[in-house]
């Protein structure tokens, strides 16, 4: 499947399409997942994207913000994106209701390298809202399960209340073909998962690097220590993939807002192997 931006040639590349919010799932105290559908039904048929890509979403009168598409291209009934409330646009999105309309332009950016994951043992490592882009990839992989070997998912959040996508975590825990490990920084009386930071738990479960690829998304501090832990576990930089989330404006490689070293995250990323970025991300991580 190829990425297909639905804007026809010659049209204003910044003009968003209208999307109707068809469902809103509260994930945590500050995070919601929105299910959306194109208002113009024909776009539903022509739109496609790949796991890892993002879009620009607008709340009219408030502004535009960048979010990954957190649903999988293998499940195209509708699109999903998940929003942590941190500022102006994210707060405005959190005020919206089912039936409201937002703007959407995309998909933009590159995607997770599914061809390099095929036939490998996969290790997904996520933290907080960082599970959103990984979730698209995990659903994609699980919908084509026979293409991959062992699947391990390690996901962490500050507390049990901060775990996003609890319905997915439960389904993956029940799936006999997935090894699911959930951890929180601070446990509670009824908490049955692990207690400890993601990199600590990673070193405890000691996944083998042989024939494996690791994909990690989360807050910069988690990524920084997870990369160190993966190195200790003998993962080479070319076996590790991550996403960068620099602040963006155009999403199209035109405004220069998102560059890190020589790369534009919106155009060259947001998905990178650690090998590609290790020499110039030290300030960001």
The site for ligand FAD, by CB under 6 A, has a size of: 22
Instruction: Check residue 90 for interaction with ligand FAD (CB under 6 A).
Output: yes
State the Cα–Cα distance between residues 243 and 116, nearest whole angstrom: 16
Instruction: Check residue 83 for interaction with ligand FAD (CB under 6 A).
Output: yes
Q: Which of 8, 10, 99, 256 binds ligand FES (CB under 6 A)?
A: 256
* Bridge partner residues of 233 (DSSP): none
Choose between 207 and 269: whose C-beta lies nearer to ligand FES. 269
From the list ligand FES, ligand FAD, none, pick the one residue 247 interacts with, judged by a Cβ distance below 5 to 8 Å according to partner type: ligand FAD
Q: How far is CA 18 from CA 103, 105, 239, in A?
A: 5, 9, 39
What are residue 73's phi and psi, to 5 degrees?
-65, -10
Region from 1-9, 22-30, 257-265, 273-281 binding ligand FES, contact rule CB under 6 A: 257-265
State the Cα–Cα distance between residues 260 and 283, nearest whole angstrom: 9
Helix (H) or strand (E) holding 155: strand 151-157
Shortest Å, Cβ 140 to ligand FAD = 16
Shortest Å, Cβ 267 to ligand FES = 6
Region from 134-142, 194-202, 209-217, 245-253 binding ligand FAD, contact rule CB under 6 A: 245-253
What are residue 204's phi and psi, to 5 degrees?
-70, -40
Q: Which of 258, 263, 271, 277 binds ligand FES (CB under 6 A)?
A: 258
Choose between 125 and 129: whose C-beta lies nearer to ligand FAD. 129
Q: Is 225 exposed, middle or buried (0-12, 13-18, 19+ CB in 10 A)?
A: middle
Choose between 96 and 246: whose C-beta lies nearer to ligand FES. 246
Q: Which of 49, 165, 264, 272 binds ligand FES (CB under 6 A)?
A: 264
Alpha helices, H only, the chain: 41-46, 88-95, 114-117, 131-142, 166-174, 198-205, 220-232, 265-268, 274-277
- Report the interface residues with ligand FAD, using CB under 6 A: 54, 63, 65-68, 70, 82-84, 86-90, 129, 132, 245-248, 270
């Amino acid at each position: 499947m190829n990425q297909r931006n639905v804007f026809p040639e010659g049209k204003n590349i910044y003009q968003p399409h209208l999307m109707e919010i068809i469902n809103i799932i509260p994930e945590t105290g500050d995070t919601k997942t929105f299910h959306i559908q194109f208002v113009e039904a024909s776009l539903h048929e022509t739109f496609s994207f790949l796991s890892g890509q993002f879009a620009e979403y607008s709340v009219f009168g408030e502004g535009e913000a960048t979010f990954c598409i957190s649903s999988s291209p293998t499940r195209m009934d509708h699109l999903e994106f998940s929003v942590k409330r941190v500022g102006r646009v994210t707060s405005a999105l959190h005020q919206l209701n089912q039936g409201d309309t937002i703007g959407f332009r995309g998909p933009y950016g590159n995607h997770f390298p599914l061809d390099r994951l095929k036939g490998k043992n996969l290790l997904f490592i996520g933290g907080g809202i960082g599970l959103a882009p990984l979730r698209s990839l995990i659903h994609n992989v699980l919908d084509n399960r026979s293409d991959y070997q062992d699947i391990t998912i390690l996901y962490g959040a500050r507390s049990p209340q901060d775990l996003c996508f609890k319905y997915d975590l439960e389904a993956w825990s029940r799936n006999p073909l997935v090894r699911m490990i959930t951890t929180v920084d601070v446990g509670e009386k009824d908490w049955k998962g692990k207690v400890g930071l993601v990199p600590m738990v990673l070193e405890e479960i000691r996944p083998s690097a042989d024939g494996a690829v690791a994909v990690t998304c989360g807050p910069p501090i988690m990524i920084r220590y997870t990369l160190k832990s993966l190195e200790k576990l003998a993962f080479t930089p070319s076996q590790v993939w991550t996403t960068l989330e620099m602040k963006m404006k155009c999403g199209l490689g035109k405004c220069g807002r998102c560059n890190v070293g020589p790369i534009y995250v919106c155009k060259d990323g947001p998905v990178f192997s650690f090998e590609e970025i290790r020499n110039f991300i030290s300030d960001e991580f």
